[in-house]
């Protein structure tokens, strides 16, 4: 069932409204990654005594390395670690547009969902981002004691957090905060599994750029399936 939700999301790539949101999300994702990488280079350039040499990349000379192939390689590598928190932010800001496109095609008989105030979405995004970072920092302790289980712990933890966030934001539009959380608890196992399936490709360079928007669409389908919404 989860794979069916994902295939429906993937099959809507030819939708004009869906592509618009996809490209906006891609642009913002790349801008965030470039911004973080540029800030890191600026910090290094400020405090380092001389040029920084990165293994397999070479000497970092600020703008030249940022725009060069070496900088591109580091940016792609950085995306492995940055895309899970980035995905949570992208989803929170663009899910309403994604959900509108999904509902227009697959659930046309539904009344339009009320808009979530931007201030509420911003507070939710910042709160969840803090939880995500804090949980992963605490998980570093577990990685130290259980190194052979580090990979499954990483994906199970982030899959749980991402699944809860994706689903709650999707359900919040039509159910309200209390009911959305009740649904998330009632279907915790399925939502957790879907979150893990979203988290795995988020650490694959290039592919991970497309997952936040596809994840938002997938969880919109997941919510409507669990809610029993009439579909086309």
Query: Can you spell out the DSSP letters for 1-40?
Result: -HHHHHHHHHTTTT-HHHHHHHHHHHHHHHHHHHHHHHHH
Average pLDDT rounded to a whole number, residues 168-184: 89
Reported pTM: 0.78
C-beta of residue 87 within 8 angstroms of C-beta of residue 162: yes
Which residues neighbour 36 within 8 Å (Cβ) at sequence distance 6 or greater? 78, 82
Indicate the average pLDDT of the chain. Answer: 79
User: Quick one: DSSP state of residue 111?
Assistant: P
Is 196 among the domain residues? yes
Is 178 among the domain residues? yes
Query: Which has the minimum average pLDDT: 11-20, 55-64, 131-140, 165-174?
Result: 55-64
**Domain total for the chain?**
1
Range of the domain at 166: 2-12+82-227
CA neighbor of 166 nearest in space, from 179, 180, 154: 180
Is 201 among the domain residues? yes
Match 């928190």 to its residue by tokens.
85
157/139 Cα distance (integer angstroms): 8
Residue 210 has pLDDT above 90, yes or no: no
Where would I find the H helices in the chain? 2-10, 16-47, 63-67, 69-106, 118-145, 150-186, 188-199, 211-227
Residue 188 DSSP SS3: helix
Q: What is the pLDDT of residue 67?
A: 47
Q: Which two tokens stand for residue 166?
A: 């994706």
Is 104 among the domain residues? yes
C-beta of residue 47 within 8 angstroms of C-beta of residue 13: no
Give the other-Cβ count within 10 Å of 92's Cβ: 24
Express each pLDDT in 126-175 by its tens digit. Answer: 887 788 888 888 888 888 888 888 889 989 998 998 898 889 888 988 98
Is 118 among the domain residues? yes
Q: Count Cβ atoms within 10 A of the Cβ of residue 138 and give its class: 0-12 exposed, 13-18 middle, 19 or more buried.
A: exposed
C-beta of residue 155 within 8 angstroms of C-beta of residue 196: yes
Is 24 among the domain residues? no
């Amino acid at each position: 069932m989860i794979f069916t939700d994902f295939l429906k999301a993937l099959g809507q790539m030819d939708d004009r409204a869906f592509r618009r949101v996809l490209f906006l999300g891609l642009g913002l994702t790349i801008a965030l990654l470039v911004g973080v990488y540029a800030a890191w280079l600026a910090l290094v350039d400020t405090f380092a005594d001389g040029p920084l040499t990165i293994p397999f990349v070479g000497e970092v000379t600020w703008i030249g390395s940022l725009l060069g192939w070496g900088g591109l390689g580091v940016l792609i590598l950085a995306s492995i670690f940055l895309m899970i928190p980035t995905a949570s932010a992208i989803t929170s800001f663009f899910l309403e547009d994604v959900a509108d496109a999904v509902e227009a095609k697959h659930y046309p008989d539904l009344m339009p969902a009320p808009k979530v105030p931007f201030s509420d979405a911003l507070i939710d995004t910042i709160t969840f981002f803090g939880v995500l970072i804090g949980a992963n920092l605490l998980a570093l302790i577990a990685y130290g004691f259980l190194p052979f289980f580090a990979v499954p712990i990483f994906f199970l933890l982030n899959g749980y957090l991402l699944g809860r966030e994706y689903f709650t934001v999707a359900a919040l539009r039509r159910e309200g905060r209390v009911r959305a959380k009740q649904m998330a608890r009632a279907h915790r196992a399925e939502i957790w599994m879907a979150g893990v399936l979203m988290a795995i490709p988020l650490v694959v360079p290039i592919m991970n750029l497309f997952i936040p928007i596809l994840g938002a669409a997938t969880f919109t389908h997941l919510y409507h399936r669990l809610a029993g919404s009439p579909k086309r």
